[in-house]
Structures are given as structure tokens and as C-alpha cells.
Structure 1
């Protein structure tokens, strides 16, 4: 009996080790992308009953927390890229009287990230399809997560920034067909942490890319020391 238990224990440890090695190998051969939208401005939000983005780093902080998890899981050399909506942080910097671009760059340094700034949704699609002109034949996307404002049909990168309660920079579900299915590795992990994505956009994402996007039914709340949580009655995560 003792010999049998010892054999089972060794087999379990070996299996766990193989899982870790497989995960690290998976990450080493691919790219993990974190897409980050911009914050709203006080000039639009101050009259609302429930104003958005009291803190400029709502989305940056959540992305940082997730990146810290990924570094611990995937190792120091895994390729992690942040795609960040730049104009939103330039505009919010005037309100904060701080150089937010420089502050975000410190996260790049700390976690050894590939930091890519963008201003339009089309640039996000271009990067997914053709990073640095290198294509996706060699380096597939093994993970993709979004931190920012969203509704059921789109990621809203500059919500309540230039226009009150609206946006001029987005990635809409009707544009997802422009993303090439070959971009993603088999079994890639995809998730939106924004509000309402699971109500429509997740379905369109799967049709376009062949990967399942976990999204929220209802609203989410971005937190200080944990990843976003569901706050709507009956809210849930679906893919």
C-alpha cells in the first residue's frame, strides 16, 4: 500500500511539472497581449450621479495586476505586450498635472513589457494581424485581455474623453472580421474585463477569430487591489 501511495504521489508531481513546462513552452512560442483603454475626464463626469474614473489609473492598475500574475505564471522571458490608448492618458495628464505617459512607462520597465501606443481601433487590428511587419506565422497570440470601457458591441477607448458619454476611438464588433483567424494559437485565452461584452461582442469575436472571449453580462467594477468584479444583479461571466 505504501509503495502504491508513493507511486501515485510521484505520478501526480510529474503530471504537475509537465503542466508547468507545457504552459511555459506555450508562452515562449507566443505573445500575450493586454489591450488598455483610456480614462474619462472630470469635465464630463462631474455632474453624473455615478461618475467614472475617479482615479486615472483604473485600467492601468488592473492591467498591471494581471501582468504580475502572468509574469509569475509564464516566467520572466514570456513575450507580453501592452497596447495602450495614448491620447486618453495625454488628455488626462492635464487634469492630473502629472506625466502619465512616463508613469506608464515605469510599468514597462518593471515587468519587461513590449509597450505599444495606439490611437485608433484600426491600429489594434493591424498589430494583431501584423506586429512590426513580421506577420503571425511564427509568433501566435496565446492570450488577449482587454481593460477599459465597453458596451455590448464595442471596446470604447476614449469614452467620455473628447465627448460626454460617447467615444471617437473604438473597436466595434462589426470590425472583428478584419482580424485574421491565423493570429491566435489553438487554445488561446481571451477575455474582456469591461462592461457588457458577453451580451453580444463575445459571440461576434468567436465567429471572427475562432477563439472564445470571456465577457460580462452586466456591468463590471474596476478595483484597487484586485481584478475587476461583476456588480450587476444577475451578472455573470460567459464565453
Structure 2
């Protein structure tokens, strides 16, 4: 009888194991803003974005690092501000949308185009079934100030933007979407001066941000360029 009970218990355990939900898998999200336009920047002492791929190149370098760390099949998603590259394509006389598509194919990415900043929050909250696919990492490459990611800075309007994610909106992000110890970083300018604190208060995750300005490079990740500049979270 004792042996029979052991057989029954082991059978129940085996069935329960087969019916258990698979382990959750994370998603690493790279948010890429758009470049400025020459028509607005040409009169400035220090124009922005001489190269259309400032942010795309940096995002690619970082994604190559992640592929090495996480493996070829890890879920990595790029959220890219589409209108900025459509507009800049006319200036460059190149099909920038297709060029970005080649990066997707090369690095096995999930490429999502967005327009209004609300679409970024929508994807974070419900772009995947977040009870199963947590956000394991989130990094931003683009224009920013102390309080805002500016996705179309100097694209439609000189030195301003119409698509953004402001730190007053961060409470709209569901705190439960993030994996434990999720890695969050903004590579843009000034984020560490205010937005990083607001991000932590809203989401419970710490976002590394810059005190001062950053500079986007061609063959390395963005660097700090302000006197006394540093990364904080």
C-alpha cells in the first residue's frame, strides 16, 4: 500500500510539472530617436547630427554587445521613431528605412516603428504579454534634456519636438513590466539631472543617466563630454 501511494504521488508530481507554465523569457528594448534636419541646424555654432545614423550606429554597437552576452536567440526589440528617418532620407537621398531594416536582419531584431511618444509607453506596457515576457533591459539612444526624451528634436521644429516621453508621464508605465534587476540606461544628454530620479519614483527601477552632455561616436558608445560630467542613477 505504501508503495502504491508513492507511485500515485510521483504521478501527480509528474503531471503537475508537465502542466506548469514555461519559464518567463525577457525582452531587451532599445529605443532609438530620430535625427535632426540640416535646415534647422545649419545656422548653429555646433550643429547636431551631421551623420544621419548617429543614434542607429550607437544602438547597433550596443546590440552587438548584447548579442554576445545574451546569445543569438535572445529577444531584442528596437523601437525606432520612423518619421525622423523618413524626413532625413529626403535630405540624404537614401532609403534610410530600408537601411535600418538591414540592421534588423543582420542582428535578428524585432523592429517596431513608432510615431507619437504614447506608442512607446503602449509597447512597454502591452507590446508583449508582460505577465510572461518581462522587460529585462531598456536603453535609449537619442536627443534628450533633463526631463524628456525628444524623439524628433529639430526635425519638424527648430530646437523643439512634437514627439517625446516626458518625466511627468512616467507614471503611465506599469511598474510590473520590468524583470528583477532590469538594466535601464539613457545615453542622451542630461537625463541624470532629473529624469533618472523621476524614472525610479515611477517604475521602481533605476535608470543610469548623464550629468551634462554626451557625444555620439562612430565606432564606440556615446561618451561624456561636459566638464564634471558623470553617469548617475
TM superposition score normalised by structure 2: 0.89
**Equivalent position SS for 1:137:** coil
2:200 aligns with one of 197, 201, 206: 206
1:50 aligns with one of 33, 46, 51: 46
Q: How do 1:104-183 residues align onto structure 2 when only pairs under 5 Å count?
A: 104-131=100-127, 134-183=128-177
CA distance in 2, matches of 1:235, 1:211: 22
**Structure 1 residue runs of 4+, over 4 Å off?**
none
Instruction: Identify the residue that residue 40 of structure 1 maps to in structure 2.
Output: 36
User: Please, what is the CA RMSD of the aligned residues?
Assistant: 1.0
How many residues in Structure 1 have an aligned counterpart in Structure 2?
A: 211
2:55 aligns with one of 59, 64, 73: 59
Q: 1:135 Cα deviation (Å)?
A: 3.0
**Equivalent position SS for 1:163:** coil
Residues 24 and 132 of structure 2 are in contact (CA less than 8 Å); yes or no, is this contact kept in structure 1? Answer: no
Per-residue displacement from partner, 1:90-130 (whole Å, max 9, x unpaired)? Answer: 00000000000000000000000000000011000000000
Instruction: Look at both structures and tell me which one has the larger radius of gyration over its CA atoms.
Output: 2
The structure where helix makes up a greater share of residues is 1
1:86 aligns with 2:79: no
Q: Unaligned stretches of 5+ in structure 2?
A: 1-22
Instruction: Identify the residue that residue 5 of structure 1 maps to in structure 2.
Output: none
Instruction: Identify the residue that residue 8 of structure 2 maps to in structure 1.
Output: none
Instruction: Identify the residue that residue 3 of structure 1 maps to in structure 2.
Output: none
Residues 24 and 134 of structure 2 are in contact (CA less than 8 Å); yes or no, is this contact kept in structure 1? Answer: no
**Equivalent position SS for 1:162:** coil
1:75 aligns with 2:71: yes
Structure 1 residues 220, 28: CA separation in 2 closer, same or farther (over 3 Å shift)? farther
**Equivalent position SS for 1:56:** coil
CA distance in 1, matches of 2:218, 2:126: 34
**Equivalent position SS for 2:180:** strand
**Equivalent position SS for 2:228:** coil
